[in-house]
């Protein structure tokens, strides 16, 4: 059972520099040091966003960096934070979340012409070293939204 209310109170005490704002999605915003959260949802997701904040994660510039931030934040949430606040986070849940990022990265980096794996050249473009195709990828939506899509 989610106990968001008491957990939030503890988090606010322990992380006075972070602003917590209720929203329709879970998200860490480095620009305004704010964790957005859904009321009465999975407390593990809330700890995950706090982990992004505690680790000082900024906006990512490459997709691969987002994947690294995501696995670091889950690692931090599942070890330090889940112990500290006595909240269970299943390894299985973490793996399925990370899988959605891996799938997303795979889709974005696959060359539309020859299916080879391309390299990211800037935030919105990949290019293929095999056939020299260049393709544009859309702005990534927040991690939480992508995760919800897989449910």
Choice from 10, 119, 131, 145 touching Zn ion (CB under 5 A): 131
Which contacts (CB < 8 Å, 24+ apart) does range 75-80 have?
75/51, 76/51, 77/44, 77/47, 77/48, 77/50, 77/51
Phi, psi dihedral angles at 33 (to 5 degrees): 35, 55
Draw the binding track, 34-73, toward Zn ion (x: CB under 5 A; -: no contact): ------------------------------------x--x
Taking residues 82 to 111 in sequence order and writing x for each that binds Zn ion by CB under 5 A, - otherwise, the string is -----------------------------x
Contact 35, 47 (CB under 8 A): no
Phi, psi of 26 (to 5 degrees): -85, 130
Smallest distance, Zn ion to C-beta of residue 130, A: 5
Point out which residues bind Zn ion (CB under 5 A): 70, 73, 111, 113-114, 116, 128, 130-131, 133, 143
């Amino acid at each position: 059972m989610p106990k968001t209310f008491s957990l939030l109170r503890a988090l606010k005490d322990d992380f006075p520099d972070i602003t917590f704002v209720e929203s329709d999605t879970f998200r860490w915003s480095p620009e305004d040091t704010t964790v957005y959260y859904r009321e009465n949802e999975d407390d593990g997701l809330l700890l995950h966003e706090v982990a992004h904040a505690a680790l000082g994660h900024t906006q990512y510039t490459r997709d691969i960096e987002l994947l690294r931030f995501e696995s670091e934040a889950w690692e931090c949430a599942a070890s330090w934070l889940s112990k500290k606040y006595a909240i269970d986070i299943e390894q299985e849940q973490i793996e399925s979340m990370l899988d959605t990022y891996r799938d997303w990265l795979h889709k974005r980096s696959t060359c539309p012409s020859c299916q080879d794996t391309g390299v990211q050249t800037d935030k919105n473009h990949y290019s293929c070293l095999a056939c020299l195709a260049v393709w544009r990828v859309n702005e990534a939506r927040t991690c939480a939204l992508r995760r919800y899509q897989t449910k």
